[in-house]
Amino acid sequence: MAESKKVIGMDEWKRKLKAVTVRKEDMNKLVMNFLVTEGFADAVDKFRLESGTNPDIDLTTVTDRMVVKKAVQNGHVVDAIKRVHDLNPEILKENPKALFSLMQQLFIELIRDGKTEEALMFAQEKLGPLAEENRFLEEFERTFSLLILHNVANSSVSHLLKMSQRNKTANDVNEAILISQTNEKETKLLGLLKMLAWVDKVRELEKEVTYPKIKDFSTCKLEDPAAI
């Protein structure tokens, strides 16, 4: 008869977690990296003064990224492209995903503004060839359907006209600029969470012990073993 697993309850698990010491300096660096990567320029400056932790890059680059991000979120794609080019003409050349996202968003904004003829010409001359060259044809076809659908609001592509699509494009461009400046595209904190999620699936401990886990990394809330 197989032995039952040992169960570590929530209280015991929290005591074990509290016993793990993390240097304040390391925690401050994680926070600073998060603020820099996400582009909270004002918060970066305040946190630098309060914690004594210096960012790894020039703060002006954070501001530049946020100007580009805001331009995309406001639908000013042409302005965003110009600003990215002013930062570094190689950024979009070296990142086809970001370039396509911007061109796709420009097409979407033309449709939003009712400029259907201009959108059609743009799709034929710019967006289509770019999609074919970089293997984004499926996404191009989905986006192009905005021109031919009579009831976009009730279609599977209605999300393309929502703010969430602008945010997605802004994030793609932000990643491209980050890579060009720091060789990173996401925060170290997110990387740690991804690693934790991966380790959680393969660790040997699970074979012997039942313990509290984080099921939803958007909240990082521990779930009691009894509820898992």
Residue 16 lies in a domain: no
d(C-alpha 43, C-alpha 227), whole Å: 38
Is 98 contained in some domain?
yes
Give the number of domains in the chain.
1
Crossing angle of helices 163-182/59-73, nearest 10°? 160
Q: Look at residue 142 and tell me if it is in a domain.
A: yes
User: Residue 225: which of 205, 209, 203 has the closest Cα?
Assistant: 209
Confirm whether 165 is domain-assigned.
yes
pLDDT in tens, the chain (228 residues): 345 677 888 888 788 777 877 788 888 888 888 888 777 778 888 888 889 888 877 777 788 888 999 999 999 999 999 999 999 999 999 999 999 999 999 999 999 999 999 999 999 999 999 999 999 999 999 999 999 888 888 899 999 999 999 999 999 999 899 888 775 666 666 666 666 666 555 555 666 777 777 766 666 677 777 665
Which domain does 113 fall in, by range? 89-182
Q: What are the backbone angles phi and psi of residue 214, rounded to the nearest 5°?
A: -95, 115
The pTM (predicted TM-score) of the whole model is 0.69
